[in-house]
Structure 1
Amino acid sequence: MPVLVEAGWGGLVQYPWTITWTDITTYVDTVRGVSVSRGASDELSETQPGTATLVLDNSDGRFTPGNGASPYYPYVRRNAPIRVSVAVMPTVSGAAPYPMAMLGDDFDDGRIDTTKWPTNVGGAFETSAGYLRIPMAPGIDTNFTSARTWKLQGSQLTAKLCTVPAVNGSSNVAASMWVTSTTSGTRIGWRYDALTGVLAAMSQVGFADATPTNLTYSAIDHAWLRVRESGGTVYWETSGDGYDWTVRRSLATPAWIGSQTHAVDFPTTRTGGTAGFIEWDLVGAEVRPRFWGTVNEFPVSWKGLASQTVVSATDLFKWLNRLPVLKSALGEEILHPDVPGVTEFPGCYFPLTEPSGAASAGDVSGAGCGSLAVTQVSAGGALDFGSDGLDGTGDTSATFTPASASAGRYLTGDLGAAFQANSGPYAAVIEFWVKTTTTGRAILGLFEPSLDHQIVLGISAGGTLTIESTDSGGTLTVNDTLRAIADGAWHHILVDTNLSVTHYTDGASPGVSAFTPAMSGLRTLHVGGYRGGRLFNGQLAHVAVTFASASIASTIAPLHYQAATTGFSGEAANVRVQRLARYAGLSSVTVWGSTFDPVASQSTGGSSVVARMREVESTESGRLFAERDYYGLAFQSRDLRYNPTPANDAFTIAYADLETDSVELADDDQKLVNSIEASRPGGATQRVTAPASILAFGVYDPGALSILKTSDNSVLDAAYWRVYRYANPGPELREVPIEAYSMGTYLDILDADISSAFTVTSMPPQAPASSIRCTVEGYTETIRDRGHLIQFHTSAAFSDSVWVLDDAVYSVLGATTRLAY
């Protein structure tokens, strides 16, 4: 049972698909083992950040930060990506021919198993790192071949491709992984050509395949190779981690696969040049990820001259918890546009939320623009920050009070060379919020220093939005949009300069576009006036420019309007979590389950993204946690746990197979709740009680429950769900330790994760039932060489049972007639 530990030296966790992983398993102390903690202690506690701890042999200093002699220098540093997996090796059982999935070798005992691999032409050997190395000398074709005792039909061949051969001046360098027929030249598998860098999925007859699937080899995407046969189809698959597989080719199963026994061959060929090698590992391994995160530190310690590094790592939540607090929902939407198929990025963003008395306004886009300075024109007038802003955002605004159209203050600034360079290749999307009753003024303008290109957004004498532009330095051409905005109310304006200008007011387009020539070289921004005149009178907020490779107005205009006015109140909880993840820079949230209630607004800023997600998690009675196989989040709905059945159990285990010293049946008041007061933002405060429980045990009130529901009835449903589940909790197993490595259901146990159910059978006679079903809330584990102790933190699966009409189990009056929530 090899543990597999890999480090992503130099990789960035926010771009996990670009990480090249390095196997460092050979340096792991597998006697002490790798410890992993995940999930929560019980169903009423929040899931905690996952952690991993391991000890690395640092005898040669390779894990010493700042050591220039380290092969990993300079990337031995905090926040280095790390992942831990278990590679479960198959065992052979039954009589030959055996399913090919039973062919396994981890190449870590220092000698070739000649019974398993009787043909070794070329002197292949096992390295100290535990790889199979096949030398490739010029003019010598090699074979490393198994006995012919295997069957691919209904089975698979898997291997990790650790090191591909270098060209080294050769004219022909190739290495392959084949399942071979009894007919020479008829075979199926993968072939790598070092000269072209092509990895080919092939089904050869007479040593040829006229229609292979050719892939440009990637050490990231093609680290693992597999050939699999199922239901009359052969699949060629690749994987970056040995767990998540991508089908690269499929083909109707050749007849010989069903009629013959097969051998596995890893042949090589090299013509000319100098010698090299290819390395393989973990043939037949079933990989199960246990941890994905980043290293907290690389502390180096010594015992005498022996050096070691005790590494601790934390999952994605560490990275999330470091992020700055969120801005308002509007601010986050401006900073994180997301239009599929379009490249977009911030040009500048001036929220105008500075405190009263500020002399300038800052850009928060991170694009490197300068600030906007308060600029005086003639005498008089005022410009102040800190005014009341949009009600739904909690943000303030800037108030412009000129003495006249030509006397007062406005904001001016140089947006910088980067902004200017992007103006032209990308269309500028300009937006802001405006509140005024004064007509005939300019709101803002962008221009090229030479004035060849200018665009000005203003208010006509009739109070409508106007768009003015020129691309020749001449007179501005005025386009009246006929949209009234000078009515004393806040309005959202968005203008997309994608050649034929599209404008949106309050999230809607009037269906009229104004032709504006392509703008390029824009660099200077004036807000609250334009070039010393037409000074604006009113309030402005959230001035932003976003660059895009195509028109994005129809997507983002309604989103930005909703963000400020409703805070997306009423959207489903899973959609809200995905939205918050996008604000954090995460592109992937796995959603489990189907019952997701609408949630209330979270439009104001000031909280962390994790805190906001936890609010949604609590509102949903769901589960939020980091994935253990990649850089992403999982969000589970409460209905994922409804009515667990034996058919859906992750595994079943007899009590006698547990580590019995730690098994306890709990029956206490830790979870008891029989009275609860619940409320929602802007809604009623309501109390739910369980009188029979109060009579029997007294009042157990966990404190006020405030959740983001959108109706009082939903709040009441959530309160009833909590009280009815825990008014009289039954006895339960809360800790279930298993020495999993020795179990025949090892893979099933490894597949169990948060919210999985399993059943412990053949309980001792003192137990309340012969079988007890548990729900996994979390676990701690220690993975050692030929040992894997997992201690599951569990709750009673029965607490998640809900009423099913006329069901023998789930419609027992007074026992299992709890209505689903």
Structure 2
Amino acid sequence: MTFPQTALPLRVELNLAGTWTDITHDVYSRDQIRITGGRADEGTKVDAGRCLMTLNNRGGKYVPRNPTGPYYGLIGRNTPVRVSVLTGANYLGLPGNVGDYASTPDTAALDITGDLDVRFDGTLTNWGATNLELIGKFTFATGGRSWFLGMRNGFPHFEWSVDGANTIQADAPVAPVIPPSGRLALAVTLDVNNGAGGATVQFYTASTIAGPWSYLGAPVVFAGTTSIFNSNAPLKIGDAVGSLGFTSASGACHAAQVRSGIGGTLVAAPDFTAQTAGTTSFTDSTGKTWTLAGGTDISNRRVRFSGEISSWPTRWEATDVYTQVEAAGILRRYGQGTSPLASTLRRRIPTDPALVAYWPMEEGASATQAMSPLPGVQPLSATGLQWAADDTLPGSAALPVVGSTASISATVPLATPGNWHVEMVYNLAAMPASLTTVLDVSATGTARRYLVRVQTGNVQVQALADDGTQIGFINATSPDFTGSWSRLQLIVATSGSNTTMNIVWVTIGGGGLTLGSTFAGSPGAVSRVSSPFGSGLAGMRIGHLSVFSVANTDIYYNADTAFNGESARQRMERLAGEEGLPLAILGLGAELIGTQRSLPLLDLLREAEDLDHGILYESRDRLGLAYRDRTSLYNQAPALALSYHTDIVGPLEPVDDDQHVRNDVTVARINGSSARSTLDVGALSTQAPPLGVGRYDDSSTLNLYSDDQPAQHAGWGLHMGTWDETRYPVVRVNLARSPALIDAATTVKVGDRVTIASPPPWLPPDTIDLIVQGYAETLSQFEWALEFNCTPAGPWNVAYLDDATFGRADTAGSSLAASATSTATTLSVATTSGPLWTTAAGDMPFDVRVGGEVVRVTAVTGTTSPQTFTVTRSINGVVKAQTASTDVRLATQPVIAL
């Protein structure tokens, strides 16, 4: 790749009324574009990204209130902006919306009815979407269903149809590991007749479509042979199915292949890297014509910043008029919001499309009625309630307590007659001695009233006709859902010419019971809900009363416990989805989190980040956030491999300081127990110098799910805080001088691993191994410089079973039993603590570090200490004689991961 000798192919765009508009010609070349993102050197949280640039404003174009300006009414506060460099390999850009796809029409060659082989190579931001479309020949039109490949809940998913109407589904038995770069090649083969009376689906992965391919789990075998329906659907990539309701692939597709037969004849082979940027139609190597639709494009755009411009300050001097803008990433806007989110029940219940009426009852202490968040629903009238008196239900704000003369009543807008469902939460200490009405529901059907009444050892539900005649009855002598928060449901549904009514109790966070009966007639629709309560129900807590126009809904489920026990990833994905915030997640984020508290959105997201020890940061390629979990940081392959002598600009500045030292770590669970972990021996121990560094304590309170977690988190915090390695805070790269690095360097994300080989002789000889925490970037006509803010990668190297490097346990204590010259090929090693070193030939070779020199052990002999090591010397370039008692350790010392 040759770096442009004219001007850097910069592109600056504003999103004006939904269209990206190129304003590069107005960006002053006299001033550099300066971009920052990620964590600062001293930071523990990612800051909002910043992009500084100067715009030519001689014509008043960038004055939002200038009515004569071409952008009048189109720019203002929080105008989206992106900065790109057009260089590197081309790809098919997939915005991820409905209608964004590349397609080729149906042809005879694509009408495969037998064995099939499909391959997709993409760099996506949403590999982990619940349901994801990648490539398929599949529509819901008559005769349109053949097959498609996608993802479901993180697992590759394949569907095909035999008859064009019904589908057979197969999911990979294991989930693929998505590289930090987001690039993965995925393949599936369908053997319609495996020779054993069945059909076989096999999934594969590779780093690119060029392979080599690896099996992704065992084959998925189906009884009976099969075939693929010969549909008339086009072959699509991206929004491959359309009306299926899956998420469309977002990011880049590099290439795809469809083969007739497993490893057979190519019948479609779009290679988007071989196309010219801006092309909207092309012919692939098999003669298929591909056309782009929606927002897809062929591009080599490397987006360097996506953000918003909140202000347009205009300056002028002499004949020059200019606007210096400072765009910010999305964290700036979300960080300014301080209003806590409503309770999980209050947020969740209104999302049910069948909801007819709803009263959260989360009013303040001086309330006289309960409002409804639904338009057109009148407030619930109430007397005798002590408002905001109980805040013990995790999924709710404080709820009222029933007094001895309390009552409630509310009118329900009439829905279409049919099935309905009434539900509420309550907490009743004990059943009343006499039969007392908890709920009185009026309806327009055959039964005009439904009375739910309780007493000790007895629960009754009566369905009463207009004249008061009982036409339906439920009597239960066993239910006693008292002493804790519960949900009460009354469900009425059509059953032929009859009506079925069910009463359901659910202990929140526990089990439940359903009882029912049937009577002749129709359900009608709910018109009113009320309760006279009575002295026997005094002290009962109530709230979140709702009416639905369906027979059943699970909308309360999990929201009532404030989603206690969901994973960090689930918490983030759910919150982002509820708020319409784009969020790409790398990794499982499997650490379990406690109840969702009433905090601002960003605080809740960062609470999950803290718990999982991952990194929440801003996406470069779109206005949104990204999250990579802790496990995605483990044992990474380098995203960027540099050489000190050819790629580094300016001096490296190693730092040995105490900035991140923490040798006394305490972690507490919110409203739970705590644990403490200390390092009491060693160079970074709590001992006073010179035996240690003294005490550096740290304490944190995390929203953990259980009291089993604090000890693990304290141990991990101690591990991270006592990693003894030099820091290299800033790594500078000039892409104008090293254009061969552009493709790799422009994919580096926060949390990626960067290595620097061949450090200068005055530094330790080992390859410098780093994790990127933040970055700064400078762009101008002839300059493109990157600065990575880094921390050591070493503490993220964790133990993996059966791994040649990370699957080994280190010695508990070993040292040289005798001195050795710089050329000696055997070493005498004494074990001072723990078991002896392995002598098994199958465990060789492995590397150990002795006095800063890495030596490779090819054999170990001896069944008692000291043992004899046969070694190859100076693996890391260090040549030196070694003295007796020098410590001997594995060169790579992985730890047990959190």
TM class by shorter chain equals 0.5 to 0.7
Q: Distance in 2 between matches of 1:504 and 1:388?
A: 24
Q: Distance in 2 between matches of 1:774 and 1:740?
A: 19
Q: Please tell me the residue identity of whatever aligns with 1:744.
A: A
Q: Any idea what the Cα deviations from partners look like across 1:121-154, whole Å, max 9, x if unmatched?
A: xxxxxxxxxxxxxxxxxxxxxxxxxxxxxxxxxx
1:479 deviation in Å? Answer: 4.4
Q: Distance in 1 between matches of 2:301 and 2:250?
A: 6
* One of 733, 739, 754 as aligned partner of 1:738: 733
Specify the alignment match of 1:714 in structure 2: 709
Q: 1:602·1:612 contact (CA, 8 Å) conserved in 2?
A: no
When the two chains are superposed, the root-mean-square deviation of aligned CA atoms in Å is: 4.9
Q: Distance in 1 between matches of 2:340 and 2:525?
A: 34
Q: How does 1:491-510 map to 2 (within 5 A)?
A: 491-495=486-490, 499=494, 503-506=503-506, 510=513
Q: 2:569·2:589 contact (CA, 8 Å) conserved in 1?
A: no
Specify the alignment match of 2:897 in structure 1: 820
Specify the alignment match of 1:37 in structure 2: 36
* One of 564, 575, 583 as aligned partner of 1:568: 564
Q: How does 1:400-439 map to 2 (within 5 A)?
A: 400-402=402-404, 408-413=405-410, 420=413, 430-435=423-428, 437-438=431-432
* One of 763, 770, 773 as aligned partner of 1:777: 773
Q: Any idea what the Cα deviations from partners look like across 1:40-92, whole Å, max 9, x if unmatched?
A: 135971222233333333344443324444444434222333333332256xx
Compared with structure 1, are the counterparts of its residues 618 and 359 closer, same or farther at alpha carbon in structure 2 (3 Å cutoff)?
A: same
Of stretches 498-507 and 763-772 in structure 1, the one that deviates more from structure 2 is 498-507
The gaps in structure 2 that reach 5 residues or longer are 1-7, 96-102, 106-134, 136-143, 147-207, 212-233, 240-247, 260-264, 282-291, 495-499, 812-888
Q: 2:773·2:789 contact (CA, 8 Å) conserved in 1?
A: yes
1:452 deviation in Å? Answer: 9.7
Hey, which of these two has a bigger chunk of strand by percent? 2
1:474 deviation in Å? Answer: 8.0
Q: Please tell me the residue identity of whatever aligns with 1:663.
A: L
Q: How does 1:344-363 map to 2 (within 5 A)?
A: 347-355=357-365, 357-363=366-372
Q: Please tell me the residue identity of whatever aligns with 1:559.
A: N
1:608 and 2:615 equivalent?
no
Compared with structure 1, are the counterparts of its residues 9 and 368 closer, same or farther at alpha carbon in structure 2 (3 Å cutoff)?
A: farther
1:777 deviation in Å? Answer: 0.9
Q: 1:650·1:748 contact (CA, 8 Å) conserved in 2?
A: yes
Q: Please tell me the residue identity of whatever aligns with 2:402.
A: F
SS in 1 for 2:661: coil
Q: Distance in 2 between matches of 1:551 and 1:792?
A: 57
Q: Distance in 1 between matches of 2:445 and 2:665?
A: 66
Compared with structure 1, are the counterparts of its residues 640 and 177 closer, same or farther at alpha carbon in structure 2 (3 Å cutoff)?
A: closer
Q: 1:157·1:283 contact (CA, 8 Å) conserved in 2?
A: yes
1:9 and 2:19 equivalent?
no
Q: 2:381·2:410 contact (CA, 8 Å) conserved in 1?
A: yes
Q: Please tell me the residue identity of whatever aligns with 1:635.
A: Y
Q: How does 1:369-380 map to 2 (within 5 A)?
A: 369-375=377-383
SS in 2 for 1:431: strand
Specify the alignment match of 2:52 in structure 1: 53
Q: 1:506·1:561 contact (CA, 8 Å) conserved in 2?
A: no
Between the two proteins, the alignment pairs up a number of residues equal to 641
Q: Any idea what the Cα deviations from partners look like across 1:368-403, whole Å, max 9, x if unmatched?
A: 64433335xxxxxx332233353545743323334x
Q: Distance in 2 between matches of 1:255 and 1:636?
A: 34
Q: Any idea what the Cα deviations from partners look like across 1:329-380, whole Å, max 9, x if unmatched?
A: 444443556xxxxx4568433234421x4322333x36464433335xxxxx
Q: 2:37·2:49 contact (CA, 8 Å) conserved in 1?
A: yes
Q: 1:506·1:558 contact (CA, 8 Å) conserved in 2?
A: no
Give the TM-score, by structure 1 length: 0.66
Specify the alignment match of 2:861 in structure 1: none
Q: Any idea what the Cα deviations from partners look like across 1:772-798, whole Å, max 9, x if unmatched?
A: 121111112233334322211111111
Hey, which of these two has a bigger chunk of helix by percent? 1
Q: Any idea what the Cα deviations from partners look like across 1:644-666, whole Å, max 9, x if unmatched?
A: 3xxx2112122234563363111
Q: Distance in 2 between matches of 1:519 and 1:82?
A: 55
* One of 758, 762, 768 as aligned partner of 2:754: 758
Identity level (%): 19
Compared with structure 1, are the counterparts of its residues 511 and 592 closer, same or farther at alpha carbon in structure 2 (3 Å cutoff)?
A: same
Q: 1:360·1:411 contact (CA, 8 Å) conserved in 2?
A: no
Q: Distance in 2 between matches of 1:583 and 1:255?
A: 39
Compared with structure 1, are the counterparts of its residues 266 and 640 closer, same or farther at alpha carbon in structure 2 (3 Å cutoff)?
A: closer
Q: 1:755·1:777 contact (CA, 8 Å) conserved in 2?
A: yes
Q: Please tell me the residue identity of whatever aligns with 1:437.
A: M
Specify the alignment match of 2:632 in structure 1: 640
The gaps in structure 1 that reach 5 residues or longer are 11-18, 91-100, 102-155, 161-175, 179-200, 202-210, 214-228, 269-277, 338-342, 376-381, 403-407
Q: How does 1:204-219 map to 2 (within 5 A)?
A: none
SS in 2 for 1:744: helix
Q: How does 1:356-755 map to 2 (within 5 A)?
A: 357-363=366-372, 365=373, 367=375, 369-375=377-383, 382-390=384-392, 392=394, 395-402=397-404, 408-413=405-410, 420=413, 430-435=423-428, 437-438=431-432, 440-445=435-440, 456=450, 458-460=452-454, 478-480=472-474, 482=476, 484=479, 487=482, 489-495=484-490, 499=494, 503-506=503-506, 510-513=513-516, 525-526=529-530, 528-529=531-532, 537-545=538-546, 547=548, 553=553, 555-563=554-562, 568-569=564-565, 571-586=566-581, 589-594=583-588, 596-599=590-593, 601-603=594-596, 605-644=597-636, 648-658=637-647, 660-661=649-650, 663-681=652-670, 682-692=672-682, 693-694=684-685, 695=687, 696-710=691-705, 714-727=709-722, 729-742=724-737, 743-755=739-751
Compared with structure 1, are the counterparts of its residues 497 and 626 closer, same or farther at alpha carbon in structure 2 (3 Å cutoff)?
A: farther
Give the TM-score, by structure 2 length: 0.60
Q: Any idea what the Cα deviations from partners look like across 1:463-489, whole Å, max 9, x if unmatched?
A: 766666689898685543737357565
Q: Distance in 2 between matches of 1:247 and 1:345?
A: 45
1:414 deviation in Å? Answer: 5.4
Of stretches 789-798 and 683-692 in structure 1, the one that deviates more from structure 2 is 683-692
Q: 1:331·1:351 contact (CA, 8 Å) conserved in 2?
A: no
Q: Any idea what the Cα deviations from partners look like across 1:239-289, whole Å, max 9, x if unmatched?
A: 99994349999687579999xx99999899xxxxxxxxx9x9999631233
1:490 deviation in Å? Answer: 3.6
Compared with structure 1, are the counterparts of its residues 730 and 262 closer, same or farther at alpha carbon in structure 2 (3 Å cutoff)?
A: closer
SS in 1 for 2:555: helix
1:710 deviation in Å? Answer: 4.5
SS in 2 for 1:775: strand
SS in 1 for 2:627: strand
* One of 791, 795, 798 as aligned partner of 1:795: 791
Specify the alignment match of 1:273 in structure 2: none
Compared with structure 1, are the counterparts of its residues 809 and 459 closer, same or farther at alpha carbon in structure 2 (3 Å cutoff)?
A: same
Q: Distance in 2 between matches of 1:267 and 1:3?
A: 22
Q: Any idea what the Cα deviations from partners look like across 1:134-181, whole Å, max 9, x if unmatched?
A: xxxxxxxxxxxxxxxxxxxxxx78999xxxxxxxxxxxxxxx999xxx
Q: 1:657·1:738 contact (CA, 8 Å) conserved in 2?
A: no
Compared with structure 1, are the counterparts of its residues 257 and 458 closer, same or farther at alpha carbon in structure 2 (3 Å cutoff)?
A: closer
1:818 deviation in Å? Answer: 2.5
Q: Distance in 1 between matches of 2:587 and 2:361?
A: 38
Compared with structure 1, are the counterparts of its residues 705 and 522 closer, same or farther at alpha carbon in structure 2 (3 Å cutoff)?
A: same
Q: Distance in 1 between matches of 2:768 and 2:463?
A: 74
Q: Please tell me the residue identity of whatever aligns with 1:289.
A: V
Q: Distance in 1 between matches of 2:23 and 2:467?
A: 63
Q: 1:466·1:478 contact (CA, 8 Å) conserved in 2?
A: no
Q: Please tell me the residue identity of whatever aligns with 1:351.
A: M
Compared with structure 1, are the counterparts of its residues 491 and 301 closer, same or farther at alpha carbon in structure 2 (3 Å cutoff)?
A: same
Q: 2:506·2:513 contact (CA, 8 Å) conserved in 1?
A: no
1:758 deviation in Å? Answer: 1.5
Greater RCO (Cα-Cα under 8 Å, separation 6 or more): 1
Q: Please tell me the residue identity of whatever aligns with 1:311.
A: V
Compared with structure 1, are the counterparts of its residues 159 and 522 closer, same or farther at alpha carbon in structure 2 (3 Å cutoff)?
A: closer
SS in 2 for 1:8: strand
Specify the alignment match of 2:162 in structure 1: none
SS in 1 for 2:795: helix
1:736 deviation in Å? Answer: 0.9
